[in-house]
Amino acid sequence: MRKLLSNAEECLAGLLLAGVTLLITLQLVLHGLMPRWASRLTPLVMALFFWATLMAVPAATRRGGHLGLTLVSRWLPPRWQKILQLFVLAATVAFFTTLLVTGAAMCLDPALRHNRFLDTWCPDWGVAAAIPVAAGLSIVRAVGAWWEARRGGREAGEA
């Protein structure tokens, strides 16, 4: 169970991509039979793909795949490497906090106006919610990766 939770974003992103793949296949089949139904699947495919893409961000952050300065840190003494890691963590948290706040604001306005994603049944905020969710998870994953590296469990930035 712990392993599943530690890889939750990857599992969710994989499930969403599988759903996108199935819907695109269904869309291709329906295109010849019932073109009107096929076209109605497009917004759902786009929304799921958006969510899948953004759920990959926390997974990459957990692995240290963002904002890495590995080339620079290799040439620094150990003490300066730790300072650089702390700087990278602070920059990562600042970036994702800004994204979280901005994304939450992007969700609030469409929710208050009852906007719909591409004129479908899906509310805009339901699609835009992927931004603050991914940003919040990325903050948690960045701090967790830094903490793990600090404890000596693995080098920051390693998978």
Q: Rounded CA gap, 63 and 73, in Å?
A: 17
Name the domain count of the chain.
1
Most confident of 12-16, 68-72, 102-106: 102-106
Give the pLDDT confidence of 73-95 residue by residue, as tens digits: 677 887 888 888 888 889 989 99
CB within 8 Å of 47: residues ≥ 6 apart: 117, 122, 126, 127
Assess if residue 119 is contained within a domain: yes
Measured CA to CA in angstroms, residue 28 lies from 17, 31, 36, 158 at distances of 16, 5, 12, 40
The whole-number pLDDT of residue 159 equals 39
Assess if residue 90 is contained within a domain: yes
Domain extent at residue 25? 2-151
Lowest mean pLDDT among 84-98, 99-113, 141-155: 141-155
| Average pLDDT over all residues of the chain | 81
Give the pLDDT confidence of 21-43 residue by residue, as tens digits: 999 999 888 888 887 777 777 88
Q: Report whether 151 contacts 85 (CB < 8 A).
A: no
The whole-number pLDDT of residue 158 equals 45
Closest listed residue to residue 123, CA positions, set 141, 109, 138:
109
